[in-house]
């Protein structure tokens, strides 16, 4: 699973990326700092199953702090997009290409309105302009791909009787678009099967709906720590009730993670507080208190960074965290709940078996719920945080 950070320059994409991954990327206050997309591991936060099993987990991947399991996903930092990107402006085509592999997007905006449309410092910029322009650029990106192949796939549908959804899936395959995305979108927009007759407006309606279905997006209303952010955020919520907008301060998250890494504080990403562990100097205390007062205590999701990642994976993409577990033998070899896997929503016990190993799938007898010891059939639909053992022949 890959999540791409998108947005105009200087909104805090690289800061978000660095906070979420603690990787080294350049951070500076001018456009196009990041020339190449960089990818790294970020983490979604899951209530670890260790509590219910009265044990302490030993994660293979990621980590666990006080019962909070951090499961890795891939995050991608991309250089800023500017208006006209879909026509190639500001190396736009190259940057859009970097986004093809993403399963979903996090659009970072500067909710404080202190950067203009090109990312230069200003005051009073309306952040809704940024939301609108980015949607337009992404829609145009899809539209260009549609139009490029229109003649060819329309002919295949009209003359060779090929299914429209199949022809369109082939056309958009480079963007990780799946046939079900196309089918769902066609149902939603209700356009004629004969796509050669579509008007340009109808094409626009289709590509926009397809873009939303295949690259769902959450908006990180970043720089909420700046005074003008709070009011702008309220306005955005009213203007875009259909969008998922999370108040966010990537800068604060980065500071907290640095402080935690240096052993100054204990901080669990996503929480609304931290604990000071060491004697700190006045400046450090003041900085931490500012974050506490202006961000952590003020906003529902603390700095918002963890919430944005969790919403992307669990709400937008519908993934389920699943623990392979065998209640009877938990702790054998000193290994406890080593894995927490993310499976697509709708997966069954049998899907989970195949996910673990083809042999498990082929030789599946039943799954055992490690909490209740109940046997589950192969059709059992997985639930978030299930802890399951697969019994094979
Ligand atoms: N006040 C504040 N500044 C931030 C925040 N996130 C990033 N910045 C600053 O915004 C500027 C641009 O950040 P950067 O991450 O390079 O933006 P990018 O171009 O979108 O990757 C830098 O000076 C950051 O320190 C935030 O949450 N609050
Ligand atoms: Mg950057």
Question: 269-298: per-residue pLDDT in tens?
Answer: 999 999 999 999 999 999 999 999 999 999
229 lines ligand 1 (CB under 6 A): no
Number of the ligand 1 atom closest to the C-alpha atom of 32 = 19
- 257 and 152 belong to one structural domain: no
Residue 367: which CATH number?
3.10.20.30
249 lines ligand 1 (CB under 6 A): yes
Q: Is residue 140 part of a domain?
A: no
- 55 and 164 belong to one structural domain: no
- 12 and 114 belong to one structural domain: yes
- Number of domains within the chain: 3
Task: Write down which residue in 299, 314, 329 finishes a domain.
Answer: 314
- 123 and 239 belong to one structural domain: yes
Phi, psi at residue 320, to the nearest 5°?
-120, 125
Residue 51: which CATH number?
3.40.50.300
Query: What is residue 113's three-state secondary structure?
Result: coil
Distance of alpha carbon 211 from alpha carbon 175, whole angstroms: 10
98 lines ligand 1 (CB under 6 A): no
DSSP 8-state symbol, 179: H
Sign of the dihedral defined by the CA atoms of residues 183, 187, 188, 194, in that order: positive
115 lines ligand 1 (CB under 6 A): no
Distance of alpha carbon 257 from alpha carbon 133, whole angstroms: 32
Mutate to test the pocket of ligand 1, among 127, 222, 251 (most ligand atoms within 8 A of CB): 251
Residue 190: which domain range?
146-208
Query: What pLDDT, on the 0 to 100 scale, is given for residue 83?
Result: 84
- 287 and 160 belong to one structural domain: no
Query: What pLDDT, on the 0 to 100 scale, is given for residue 34?
Result: 53
- 237 and 353 belong to one structural domain: no
Query: What pLDDT, on the 0 to 100 scale, is given for residue 31?
Result: 45
- 342 and 199 belong to one structural domain: no
Distance of alpha carbon 122 from alpha carbon 308, whole angstroms: 26
Evaluate whether 106 touches 16 at the Cβ level (below 8 Å).
Answer: yes
- 22 and 112 belong to one structural domain: yes
Q: Is residue 69 part of a domain?
A: yes
Q: Is residue 190 part of a domain?
A: yes
- 266 and 172 belong to one structural domain: no
| Lowest-confidence region among 15-19, 29-33, 104-108, 379-383 | 29-33
Query: What pLDDT, on the 0 to 100 scale, is given for residue 312?
Result: 98
Query: What pLDDT, on the 0 to 100 scale, is given for residue 92?
Result: 62
- 76 and 181 belong to one structural domain: no
13 lines ligand 1 (CB under 6 A): yes
Instruction: Name which residue sits closest to atom 13 of ligand 1, judged by CA.
Output: 12
- 129 and 38 belong to one structural domain: yes
For the CA of 6, the nearest ligand: 1
Judge whether residue 355 has pLDDT over 70.
yes
Query: What pLDDT, on the 0 to 100 scale, is given for residue 30?
Result: 45
Number of the ligand 1 atom closest to the C-alpha atom of 77 = 21
Enclosing H/E stretch for 238: helix 229-239
Rounded to the nearest 10°, the torsion over CA 59, 347, 142, 217 is: -50
Instruction: Name which residue sits closest to atom 28 of ligand 1, judged by CA.
Output: 223
Task: Write down which residue in 191, 208, 225 finishes a domain.
Answer: 208
- 224 and 277 belong to one structural domain: yes
Q: Is residue 141 part of a domain?
A: no
- What is the CA(112)–ligand 1 centre distance, in A? 11
Task: Write down which residue in 287, 314, 341 finishes a domain.
Answer: 314
């Amino acid at each position: 699973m890959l999540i791409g950070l998108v947005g105009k320059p200087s909104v805090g994409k690289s800061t978000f990326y660095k906070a979420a991954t603690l990787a080294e990327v350049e951070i500076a206050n001018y456009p196009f700092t990041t020339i190449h997309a960089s990818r790294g591991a970020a983490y979604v936060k899951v209530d670890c199953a260790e509590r219910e099993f009265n044990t302490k987990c030993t994660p293979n991947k990621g980590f666990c702090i006080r019962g909070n399991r951090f499961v890795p996903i891939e995050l991608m930092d991309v250089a800023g997009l500017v208006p006209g990107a879909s026509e190639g402006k500001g190396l736009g085509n190259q940057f859009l290409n970097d986004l093809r592999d993403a399963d979903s997007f996090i659009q970072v905006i500067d909710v404080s309105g202190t950067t203009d449309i090109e990312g230069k410092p200003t005051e009073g910029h309306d952040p809704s302009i940024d939301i609108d322009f980015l949607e337009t650029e992404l829609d145009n990106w899809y539209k260009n791909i549609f139009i490029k192949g229109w003649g060819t796939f329309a002919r295949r549908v009209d003359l060779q009787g090929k299914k429209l959804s199949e022809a369109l899936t082939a056309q958009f395959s480079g963007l990780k678009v799946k046939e079900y995305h196309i089918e769902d979108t066609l149902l939603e927009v209700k356009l004629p099967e004969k796509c050669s007759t579509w008007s340009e407006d109808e094409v626009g309606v289709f590509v926009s709906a397809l873009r939303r279905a295949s690259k769902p997006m959450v908006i990180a209303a970043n720089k909420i720590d700046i005074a003008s952010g709070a009011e702008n955020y309220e306005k955005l919520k009213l203007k875009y009730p259909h969008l998922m907008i999370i108040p966010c301060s990537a800068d604060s998250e980065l500071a907290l993670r640095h402080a935690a890494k240096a052993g100054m504080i204990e901080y669990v990403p996503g929480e609304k507080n931290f604990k000071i562990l060491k004697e700190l100097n006045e400046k450090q205390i003041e900085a931490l208190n500012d974050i506490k007062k202006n961000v952590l205590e003020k906003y529902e999701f603390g700095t918002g960074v963890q919430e944005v990642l969790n919403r992307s994976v669990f709400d937008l993409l519908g993934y389920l965290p699943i623990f392979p577990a065998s209640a009877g033998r938990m702790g054998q070899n000193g290994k406890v709940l080593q894995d927490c896997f993310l499976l697509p929503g709708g997966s069954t016990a049998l899907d989970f078996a195949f996910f673990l190993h083809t042999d498990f799938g082929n030789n599946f007898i039943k799954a055992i719920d490690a909490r209740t010891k109940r046997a589950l059939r192969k059709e059992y639909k997985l639930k978030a945080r299930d802890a399951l053992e697969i019994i094979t022949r």
